[in-house]
Amino acid sequence: MFETAKKTGKKLLIGLTRRFLSITRTARKYVEDDVLGEVYLAKCGYLRQTGIPGMGSWFTTKSMAGSGAVFDIGVHALDTTLWIMNDFKAESVLASTYAKFGPRGKAAGDWGKPVPGGPFDVEDLGVALIKMKSGATVYLEASWASFSPKTEFYVHLLGDKAGLEYPAMRLIT
């Protein structure tokens, strides 16, 4: 897609839309204005209790989707976090993935057309610990299904001057 856009002179926008929310821009401004100081730790996640889309469809087929919850919803938590931090260069990653609900046909979401008997060869939960070249550490968790206390999207930033809880936009000093 990138090469096609470049060749045709067209603009390409990947659907990482949380960047355009006013609260996300405000959070980034806190980082730019040094309100948080040096951000050394970020914790982010997009967790669902039951929300596997299109059980047995392309969503849950690795050869078509590439991955499960991490590529589908985890990217939104990670991109929002890195964009707020204005820090995109990773040095190393340690990650684990799990498929505990989908293979048993459990925790189907209410959107995406299911395909009875279709494959489930992707993760329904993934976690990563990312060491950034800046020295910061980012913890990511993404799940379509888990025994989490609630469904939530969150970013928590810890700096040496303050912390930030997003999307509540609560500064912790």
* 8 belongs to a structural domain: no
Count the domains in the chain.
1
* 146 belongs to a structural domain: yes
124-158 CB burial, b ≥16 within 10 A, e <16: bbbbbebebebebebebbbbbbbeeeeeebbbbbb
Residues of the chain with pLDDT under 70: none
What's the pLDDT at 154? 98
What's the pLDDT at 12? 84
Enclosing domain of residue 32: 16-172
* 77 belongs to a structural domain: yes
* 1 belongs to a structural domain: no
* 4 belongs to a structural domain: no
What's the pLDDT at 64? 97
* 43 belongs to a structural domain: yes
- Assign residue 94 the CATH number of its domain: 3.30.360.10
What's the pLDDT at 53? 97
* 7 belongs to a structural domain: no
